[in-house]
Amino acid sequence: MQISLQDPLFQASIPVLNKIESHGYEAYFVGGAIRDVLLEKTIGDIDIATSAFPQEIQTIFPKHFDVGIEHGTIVVLYQGNSYEITTFRTESTYSDYRRPDHVEFVRNLKLDTLRRDFTINAMAVDAKGELYDFHGGYQDLEDKLLRAVGLPLERFQEDALRIMRGIRFASQLGFQLEEQTFEAMSQLASNFSKISIERIRIELEKMMAGSYLSQTIPFFKNAKLEKSFPQANQFDYVQGLSYLSHQTRGHQGLSPLITWSLLLKGMEINDEKTQRRLMKQWTLSNRLMDQVVAFLKLNHEIIQQTLTIETIYDYDQVVIDHMYNYLEITNQMATKNEMEELINNLPIRKRQELAVNGKQIMQVLKMEKGGPVIGQLLDQIEAKVIRKELVNQTDAIINWLKNNKNS
Ligand code: ATP
Ligand code: MG
């Protein structure tokens, strides 16, 4: 069967495949890009697999980086672009449930596909567009089925992350999990405890942002996938995910800021300390944690109708923008407009926009040394400017300072 390789990402990579082939080796596009092109979705990145061993690739492409050579991956620079090329390999005995004890390079494409997770991810296409599908991946795409390559129990036993990948593909693609694949996922869900939390988080975030989250939650719930998640005995992940999906119904590409915020809200984790503790366990960045906490606080103020020009001033613009996005998604346009009005009415957006700075205040007050009083005065000036009790002009502020000198 012929596949169209019209996509510019494929077009740009065909010369790389041709070059490898001209040296007598095989080379294919593999993995997610094939799945996505068959689904007529935009393809993310291109993975190239080859029968050439890493040293042979290094010889063919003198400009290269050995990023993961022990796993057979070389990044080569060719005609100004970089490409990731991985030697066909088999993987053997995963004694730790997450990394193969050793990989063995092989010359045969079919052997390489046996190590891949799902049939829809195990197809390959050559430079001419010919499809190689050893595990019925094309049919499974047609049937919207996620099916493990080979024996599901074995495959999830080898690498428990695949369980989480399965559920996130279901959420992204709206596919069902084939029966035995799902059975095996359920049986081995507790093996998550052996996987690094970062890798689970990446899959969880993709799952939460999937368009078909709501239809995926029953699988997640029935397989009890959350049982090894942080604090799962105390807080209800299924309830959190249900809330998230209910709120955002089918919207694509939600940001982690929105998904984490709604997850925590749905899990009824309302105090900041507990929110931070859970997010820390999930290894979120400090920046994202701060933003989620702020988003939830802002959301609370919106619901309580306590948002004012003074309280809104304290929120970072990134948080405000995500709140706009969330309000749009949830059809709360009136609230969004009110918020926009408050923001547009703000005379300044941050302290640096004040028409005076600490140094000027010291000059006006003839102070030799700074001190906490400068900060306090800036606080006062800032509050007055925001409340529009004082115009943000140097003269006006200096006048106010002089008049209040002794008070
Ligand atoms: P995405 O669109 O999210 O990039 P992808 O399928 O391309 O999805 P990658 O993580 O980029 O996912 O992996 C590329 C390919 O490598 C997959 O399509 C699959 O064939 C294989 N693969 C990735 N992770 C695993 C895994 N844990 N176990 C088995 N095969 C895997
Ligand atoms: Mg990919």
| CATH of residue 163 | 1.10.110.30
Instruction: Please give the pLDDT value at position 406.
Output: 59
Structure tokens at 2: 């012929």
Contacts 24+ apart (CB under 8 A), 58-62: 60/19, 60/20, 60/23, 61/19, 61/85
Check residue 151 and report its DSSP letter.
-
Domain boundary among 300, 319, 346: 346
155 alpha carbon to ligand 1 midpoint, in Å? 14
Q: Do 13 and 106 have their domain in common?
A: yes
192 alpha carbon to ligand 1 midpoint, in Å? 18
Instruction: Please give the pLDDT value at position 271.
Output: 95
Q: Do 24 and 102 have their domain in common?
A: yes
The answer, yes or no, to whether any atom of ligand 1 lies below 6 A from the CB of 100, is no
The answer, yes or no, to whether any atom of ligand 1 lies below 6 A from the CB of 135, is no
The answer, yes or no, to whether any atom of ligand 1 lies below 6 A from the CB of 370, is no
Q: Do 127 and 19 have their domain in common?
A: yes
124 alpha carbon to ligand 2 midpoint, in Å? 13
Q: Do 115 and 27 have their domain in common?
A: yes
The answer, yes or no, to whether any atom of ligand 1 lies below 6 A from the CB of 150, is no
Q: Do 73 and 104 have their domain in common?
A: yes
Mean pLDDT, the chain, whole residue set: 94
Q: For residue 356, which phi and psi values (nearest 5 degrees)?
A: -130, 160
CA–CA distance, 50 with 30 (Å, rounded to integer): 10
Residue of 119 and 97 predicted with greater confidence: 119
How far is CA 151 from each of CA 30, 78, 148, 273, 358, rounded to the nearest angstrom? 21, 39, 7, 44, 69
The answer, yes or no, to whether any atom of ligand 1 lies below 6 A from the CB of 322, is no
Q: Do 117 and 4 have their domain in common?
A: yes
The answer, yes or no, to whether any atom of ligand 1 lies below 6 A from the CB of 116, is yes
The answer, yes or no, to whether any atom of ligand 1 lies below 6 A from the CB of 41, is no
31 alpha carbon to ligand 1 midpoint, in Å? 6
Per-residue pLDDT tens over the stretch 339-387: 999 999 999 999 999 999 999 999 988 888 888 989 999 999 999 999 9
pLDDT average, residue stretch 290-317? 95
Instruction: Please give the pLDDT value at position 73.
Output: 95
The answer, yes or no, to whether any atom of ligand 1 lies below 6 A from the CB of 248, is no
Q: Is 377 helix (H, G, I), strand (E, B) or coil?
A: helix
How many domains, in total, are found in the chain? 4
Instruction: Please give the pLDDT value at position 369.
Output: 84
Of the candidates 269, 277, 318, 317, the one whose C-alpha atom is nearest the C-alpha of residue 296 is 269
Q: Do 19 and 130 have their domain in common?
A: yes
Domain boundary among 100, 119, 136: 136
Per-residue pLDDT tens over the stretch 6-54: 999 999 999 999 999 999 999 999 999 999 999 999 998 999 999 999 9
Q: Do 4 and 122 have their domain in common?
A: yes
| DSSP line for 34-94 | HHHHHTTPPP---EEEESS-HHHHHHH-SSEEEEEGGGTEEEEEETTEEEEEEE-EEEE--
Strand partners, 64: 76
Q: Do 22 and 110 have their domain in common?
A: yes
Return the CATH number at 77: 3.30.460.10
Q: Do 204 and 250 have their domain in common?
A: no
For tokens 């984490």, name the residue: 260
Q: Do 107 and 11 have their domain in common?
A: yes
Ligand 1 probe mutation, 116, 140, 151, 202, most atoms within 8 A of CB? 116
pLDDT average, residue stretch 183-210? 94
Residue with CA at minimum distance from ligand 1 atom 1: 32
Per-residue pLDDT tens over the stretch 111-151: 999 999 999 999 999 999 999 999 999 999 999 999 999 99
Ligand nearest to the CA of 30: 1
Return the CATH number at 370: 1.10.246
Q: Do 20 and 103 have their domain in common?
A: yes
Of the candidates 141, 145, 191, the one whose C-alpha atom is nearest the C-alpha of residue 170 is 145
Domain assignment of residue 204, given as a range: 144-229
Domain boundary among 70, 101, 136: 136
The answer, yes or no, to whether any atom of ligand 1 lies below 6 A from the CB of 159, is yes
